[in-house]
Structure 1
Amino acid sequence: MEPTAHSQQQAATPSSTETTEDIASCLNAAVRNKNQERVLELLEKGADVNSKVAFGWTPLQSAVQDNNEDLVRLLLDKGACPHARKDNGGTAFTEAAIVGNVNILELLLDRGLNINDCDDNGFTAFMEAAWYGNEKALEFLYSKGADVNLRRVVNEEKAKLHKGGATALIDACRRGHFSVVKTLVQEMGADMNICDNKDRNALIYALQEGYAKERYESAVSIGLFLLDQGIDVNSKDECGKSALILAVEMQSLELVEALLEKGEIDIDDADEEGKTALMVAVEKNNYKIAELLCRKGARTDVGNLIAVANRNRAHKVAELLRQHNARFVPETLEDWEPNSRRWRDQLKNLYKIYRPMIHKLKTFQYIQQRIQNTSQGGIYLGLHGETEVAVRVCRSTAGDKETEFYKQCGNCEHLLKLFQSEKAKGYMYLCFPLWEKNLEERLQEREDQMDYKDALRMIFQAVRELHSLGFAHQDLRPSNFFIDLVGKIYLADFDNKRKLIEGKKELVNSDLEIDREVLNIMRNPKKGGACHYSNDVTDLLRFMRNLDEHPDTRISEIIGDYAKYFLKIFPALTIYVYNSLRQNPKCSHFADIQDPSL
């Protein structure tokens, strides 16, 4: 016998034996069914307006997802919390941006929500509106102060995998929303050249999505628009594919022509497998694109192009390649083993793949070959002839200035030296002897066997050598010291923080920031008379010496290890004392440490 509507309603009515989960489920079901009368009834009988069901959904979030303005207002009036989060950190506000309802967005924003609040994956309401192509919601959020260029913030674990970092513009490009892309760039000032944590910019995202038939047209339109707006064409995807290679994979002759017209792209650039744009065109048997690339000067002497064309039975393409001097030549590559243990796998891969040579330098500017980040750009692995090097790329004018500085470092034992440099297309490639790790990485190793006295000697020597050249380093930290295969330490300045020394400047604040209780204990030690400490560096050093000579458990309980305590509150003290000794003729011999055992 079928249940009547009345019996169904009775079954949904919470009884004294029903659990909180049952009641929450009833309320959520009523919201989903858009039954406002039933929602009111349940609330009047004591149902929790902020109760949650599976995945942390509250009645308010369900009402927003169903785009039900009346229920949203009702639930808010009944005390629904607009700040409540689902299990993924999303709120009713981000859900409203997905729906695209401006009225609900405004209603929630008036309840004190942070317009740039994000879920656990870093998505803000503005990003969600861009992702789903909700242009009106996007414009409303922009008018209320949403950060257009905010990059997606992820947790530490995801950041280690290079996830996150994308922007609303990247999202719109990825989803193929051409009108949203135009609005973001032309009306909201979105920065086209912001990259995600895998170094991909908006152009790369647009072209990556162009493979799908339903996205092809929008990808071409977005790509052409971004190129016309002046986007950087040298970004690469996570596999090292340039925009040109992606355009060829899409088989868009229009995009390939537009990219080549920019004159800023390397036609012979290759991905992590060593494939160039021409190789991809031949693999796809696209005669028109292959002919255009050959006519524009693409190299035909890399990769077995004719063999690929023959395998595809593409006789017309094979003949085209022969006309442009392609030859069938069996390629053999001898085995090679790098000196570096840390970078072995990346170097072997770099050695095997094809890369357009920059005179004697072979390098690949993409994330898997990057060994260090700096404020001036990345440092990448390279092979200069047979030498393993670290490569920094900069504009030629800046590179000339850097070269002049590194020439002065030629006779210094612990300043990083320039091994070689190459110039190409307005850029300079500065090549340094490859290091295994920086000091920060070494200090984080669990089973560290470092000789700290010897390390300190080399660090002081490096600073002393830099000072002897007339420069002071303004950013001395472990990540700026590099360690080679044999454990030798070098100081570098990739962030360009050095400054010419103009007279003597104090590098330490000599005010005692000492814990007040510790200071009182040391002024009145258990043994001996009272001690007085004046507010200067000399008495600070005396104070530190006395801590060591007159240990007191009361002090240990307050500040713990003395050395760590003073390094934290006086980080520049060591260098200050060193410089003071070095500049004093009567004491300079104390700063000239030769024997690590001293």
Structure 2
Amino acid sequence: MEPVAHREQEVSTPSGVKTAEVLASELNAAVKNRNRELVLELLDKGADVNSKVVGGWTPLQTAVQSGEEDLVRLLLEKGACLHARKDNGGTAFTEAGIMGNVNILKLLLDHGSNINDPDSNGFTAFMEAAWYGREEALKFLYSKGADVNLRRVTSEEKAKLHKGGATALMDACRESHLSAVKLLVQEMGADVNIRDNKDRNALIHALKKGTKKKRPKTALSIVRILLDHGVDVKSKDECGKSALILAAEMESPELVTALLEKDEIDIDDADEEGNTALMVAVEREDHSTAELLCEKGARTDVGNLIAVANRNRSLSMENLLREYNATFVPETPRDWEPKSKRWRDQLKKLDQIYRPMIGKLKTFHYIEQRIQEGIYLGFHGGTEVAVKVTRSRQGEEEKRFFEQCCHCEHLLKLFQSEKEKGCMYLCFPLWEKNLQEHLQDPEDQKDYKAALKIIFQALRELHSLGFTHQDLQPRNFVIDLGGKIYLADFDNKRTLIEGQEELVNSDLEALGRLVLYVLTGGKKPLEQIRTEDLAADSPDYTEALDLVRSLSSHDERGLEGLSKHPYFWSKQIRFNFLKSIWNQIKDIPNRKTIFQDSNVTETFPYPQWTNEIDKYILDVMENPRNVNPFKPKKYSNQATKPFKYSNDVVDLLRLMRNLDEHKDKGISDKIGDYAEYFLKVFPALTIYVYNSLRQNPRYSHFANIQNPSL
């Protein structure tokens, strides 16, 4: 049996001609396998020299990665584009910087590559060479004018998140390339005190974790070079950790000693969490570093060091600390009340127990600390948060999405995040309950219409970002202490709309079910809810039913239009709408035919309305007695001919308009608020009139509630 990969290469169209995609794949493979003859053959057969495969790789970029100068030259002769970019914005030239092949770098420069051209993350070929420790490439690029101190330029959005701004020296320091650091500092004059967008200099990068485990001896050599060239030892990382604290985290007494030789170092400097270098050493049971710090005068009366040593069952550490006057201080619960009422007791308990910190995050994945499936309580820098844990790769994707939500009013926003051991901890502002819990809580005040307005707005905001939700469950709507509702996506089911516009309709169908769920008070599971469950005597019944049906029928108004549906109108707006229609149609010949147009599918629900209205109202309106309600007072004593209202919708609208514009005290005393009365007696009238007008192409604009004439 042939290998699968080989069979895939033989895919062809019915005519036997290979597709462009197949040729691109074969060309990339031939380049990767350094098969010059096959590359030429495929190009002769029509393979596109600038075609792309997964990740946006072109044959030229693959040839550069393979290190085959002849192939690079061949592809350039065949028209390969120097400036084609991978999905991450990298070009053949930045790839050459990674590989460090000077001959290929020279060849590409000779053909017109820009020496300081960055990828989407701001990396230039010079920075890539520094990151990977390619010394010869660094020398060559420097000789050709590469900017040694160029800071990484990134997008405005990433810059707001304090990403970017690093230099080639910072990259070499972080990745522990000692020879490259020497070259950059001693021969090229790299500035050791430039700060990145997180305000970190090269010293901090030298002490931070890179892509591989740091060797203390190498780190020490790099730190000494930086110290010799005047690096600012007071610089801190994004968590407020000083170089001394970072050195203690590396458990390197030699590094600690080298830093303490600088008189300006504050041995008791603490990070944002209040941890000093000595506290770090004690926590990590690093006896040598702890002893060194104690000898150098570090304070032992902060951080309850004896308690930490006891917790680690380290008698030797306790004895050391006692030699330097450390004492055990019993912890007393702090006088503190959580902001959250719902989670008060759990937060109190979490505050009191010891938990290892994940950056600034304290959390406990235990059932008593669970908010809902996969979501737990936590404190981030002292702020009450809800914490979701994912694998790092998925977490990075979710983080990027939530960062897009920062300007949306009703999409859940990310507060902070932490990473540890392949996991991403996403922290959100803590909420009190989700929509399901809110509806089922008998003590909660419920305003269904206000809640649904926000739900519609939240989904509109998500669609405006280019995503459909695909999981409109009550648990994905959360409500904070102030009663504000936010839409979340905890199961990461959202999908890009582009190219899949039909998914918007599936969101609208799900929204229709959610509307029913809310209006029925969450008494049934979402999957079981039906229109029959909506009580006919419930407020706004006809409007709600029409809204649900419109959502499920892929109505042409879409989410934007249905957000202005009559269900969301107040009673007064509905009444004003109905009585205003007469003013707009009274001068139209054959106005009654407006509601009889062939496009109108609605049937007038009150064909005998004159029998349903209060007899007193009809009698006064048809037979004015002492005062003519339709004329000014100066004509009030003149005789008025009786007027007979017919049982069609136009005359009902006429009566409503006349009655409201020329109020009769007797009628007002009898029925009270006009809007309340008419909408109670004729509850289906608003939807009938609205839909009849909307379905009539000639008069559909009358149904627009934003019409100034209303």
The interval holding the TM-score normalised by the smaller chain is 0.5 to 0.7
Structure-to-structure mapping, 1:12-161, within 5 angstroms: 17-161=17-161
Matched, 1:309 2:309: yes
Question: In the TM superposition, what whole-angstrom CA distance separates every residue of 1:468-527 from its partner, at most 9, and x where no partner exists?
Answer: xxxxxxxxxxxxxxxxxxxxxxxxxxxxxxxxxxxxxxxxxxxxxxxxxxxxxxxxxxxx
CA distance in 2, matches of 1:163, 1:195: 12
Relative to structure 1, the CA distance from residue 101 to residue 212 in structure 2 (aligned partners, 3 Å threshold; closer, same or farther) is closer
Query: How far, CA to CA, are the matches of 1:315 and 1:33 in structure 2?
Result: 61
Q: Closer, same or farther in 2 for the Cα pair 1:43/1:326, shift >3 Å? A: same
CA distance in 1, matches of 2:9, 2:101: 35
Q: Which amino acid aligns with 1:31?
A: V
Provide the rounded CA distance (Å) in 1 between the counterparts of 2:104 and 2:9.
33
Tell me which moved more, 307-316 or 152-161: 307-316
Letter in 1 for 2:325: N
How many residues in Structure 1 have an aligned counterpart in Structure 2? 344
1:207–1:220 CA contact under 8 A, matched in 2: no
Deviation of the 1:110 alpha carbon: 1.0
Q: Deviations over 1:232-269 (max 9, x none)?
A: 11111222111101111111111111111101111111
Distance 1:205 1:2 in 2: 50
Q: Distance in 2 between matches of 1:290 and 1:9?
A: 61
Change (3 A) 1:165 1:210: closer
**Which letter does structure 1 place at the counterpart of 2:216?**
Y
Q: Deviations over 1:284-304 (max 9, x none)?
A: 222332222122221111111
Deviation per CA, 1:111-166, whole angstroms, max 9, x where unpaired? 12211000001100000000111100011000000011111111122222211111
Contact 2:9 2:22 in 1 (8 A): no
Q: Residue 299 of structure 2 aligns with which residue?
A: 299
> In structure 2, what is the equivalent of residue 222 of structure 1?
222
Whether contact under 8 Å (1:31, 1:63) holds in the other structure is yes
Q: Which residue of 2 aligns with 1:285?
A: 285
Q: CA deviation at 1:228?
A: 2.5
The question of whether the paired residues in 1 share the 8 Å contact of 2:12 and 2:18 is answered with no
8 Å contact from structure 1 (residues 210, 216) kept in 2: no
Structure 1 residue 2 displacement after superposition: 6.2
Whether the aligned pair in 2 keeps the contact of 1:309 and 1:318 (CA below 8 Å) is yes
CA distance in 1, matches of 2:253, 2:218: 15
Cα offsets for 1:195-243 (capped at 9, x unmatched): 2211222111211238965533322221222223221111112221111
Q: Contact between 1:60 and 1:80, CA under 8 Å: does it hold in 2?
A: yes
Native 8 Å contact 1:150 1:167 kept in 2: yes
Give the Cα–Cα distance (whole angstroms) in 1 for the partners of residues 162 and 2 of structure 2. Answer: 56
Letter in 2 for 1:224: R
Question: 2 CA distance for matches of 1:295 and 1:275?
Answer: 19
Say if 1:63 and 1:320 are closer, same or farther in 2 by CA, change over 3 A.
same
Q: TM-score, normalised on structure 1? A: 0.53
User: Counterpart of 1:268 in 2: which secondary structure?
Assistant: coil
Deviations 1:26-65 (A, max 9, x none): 2222212211112112222322211112221111111111
TM-score normalised to structure 2 length:
0.45
Deviations 1:429-448 (A, max 9, x none): xxxxxxxxxxxxxxx999xx
1:329-382 Cα shifts (integer Å, max 9, x gaps): 234475479xxxxxxxxxxxxxx9xxxxxxxxxxxxxx99xxxxxxxxxxxxxx
Root mean square deviation, CA, Å: 3.3
CA distance in 2, matches of 1:247, 1:335: 35
Looking at structure 2, the residues matched to 26 and 44 of structure 1 have their Cα atoms a distance apart, in angstroms, of: 13
Write the letter of the residue equivalent to 1:236.
Answer: K
Is the CA contact (8 Å cut-off) linking 1:210 and 1:220 kept in structure 2?
no
Measured in 2, the distance between the counterparts of 1:205 and 1:92 equals 28
Instruction: Name the structure 2 match of 1:267.
Output: 267
Percent identity between the two aligned chains: 73
SS at match of 1:290: helix
Q: d(CA) in 2 for partners of 1:130 and 1:41?
A: 37
Q: Would the alpha carbon gap of residues 38 and 211 (structure 1) be closer, same or farther in structure 2, given more than 3 Å must change? A: closer
* 2:77 partner amino acid: D
Deviation at 1:19, TM superposition (A): 2.1
Aligned 1:552-563 pairs, distance under 5 A: none
Partner of 2:231 in structure 1?
231
CA distance in 2, matches of 1:219, 1:178: 8
**Partner amino acid for 2:324?**
H
Note closer, same or farther for the CA distance 1:72–1:286 as it changes in structure 2 (3 Å cut).
same
Distance 1:218 1:117 in 2: 31
Q: 1:26 to 1:226 in 2, by over 3 A?
A: same
Partner of 1:192: 192
What amino acid does structure 2 have at the position aligned with 1:59?
A: P
Match of 1:233, as an amino acid? V
Deviations 1:167-218 (A, max 9, x none): 1011111111000001000011111111221122211121123896553332
Q: Alpha-carbon deviations, 1:53-104, whole Å to 9, x = none? A: 2221111111111111111001111111111111111100011111111011
Q: Are 1:12 and 1:26, in contact at CA under 8 Å, matched by a contact in 2?
A: no
Task: Give the letter for the 2:72 counterpart.
Answer: V
Deviation at 1:310, TM superposition (A): 2.2
2:163 matched residue in structure 1: 163
1:166 alignment partner AA: A
CA distance in 2, matches of 1:278, 1:255: 14
Q: Distance in 1 between matches of 2:129 and 2:116?
A: 12
Distance 1:301-1:62 versus aligned 2 partners, 3 A rule: same
2 CA distance for matches of 1:211 and 1:91?
Answer: 22
Equivalent in the alignment of 1:206: 206
Instruction: Pick closer, same or farther for the CA change 1:12–1:297 going to 2, 3 Å.
Output: same
Distance (Å, rounded) in 1 between the aligned partners of 2:336 and 2:48: 69
**Which entry has the higher C-alpha Rg, 1 or 2?**
2
Q: Which residue of 2 aligns with 1:416?
A: none
The answer on whether the counterparts of 1:43 and 1:49 sit within 8 Å (CA) in structure 2 is yes
Distance 1:23 1:307, change over 3 A: same
Give 1:121's aligned amino acid.
Answer: N
How far off is 1:12 after superposition? 8.2
Within 1, Cα distance between the matches of 2:114 and 2:211? Answer: 37
CA contact (8 A) 2:83 2:113 kept: yes
- Quick one: distance in 2 between partners of 1:316 and 1:182? 40
Distance, in Å, in 1 between the alignment partners of 2:332 and 2:236 is 28
CA distance in 2, matches of 1:87, 1:77: 24
SS at match of 2:215: helix
Deviation per CA, 1:4-41, whole angstroms, max 9, x where unpaired?
Answer: xxx99994899764322122222222212211112112
The worse-fitting range, judged by mean Cα deviation, of 32-41 and 75-84 is 32-41
Query: Structure 1's 224 and 333: CA in aligned 2 closer, same or farther, altered over 3 A?
Result: farther
Query: What is the alpha-carbon distance in structure 2 between the residues aligned to residue 249 and residue 127 of structure 1?
Result: 27
Instruction: Report the counterpart of residue 375 of structure 1 in structure 2.
Output: none
2-structure distance, mates of 1:332, 1:242: 29
In structure 1, the residue matched to 2:175 is: 175
Q: Residues 200 and 238 of structure 1 are in contact (CA less than 8 Å); yes or no, is this contact kept in structure 2? A: yes
1:213 and 1:29 mapped to 2: Cα distance? 33
* Matched-pair contact (CA < 8 Å) for 2:64–2:96: yes
The aligned amino acid for 1:304 is: N
* Consecutive unaligned residues in structure 1, runs of 5 or more: 338-351, 353-366, 369-443, 447-598
Q: Does structure 1 retain, via aligned residues, the 8 Å contact 2:98–2:128?
A: yes
| Structure 2 Cα separation of the partners of residues 155 and 179 of structure 1 | 31
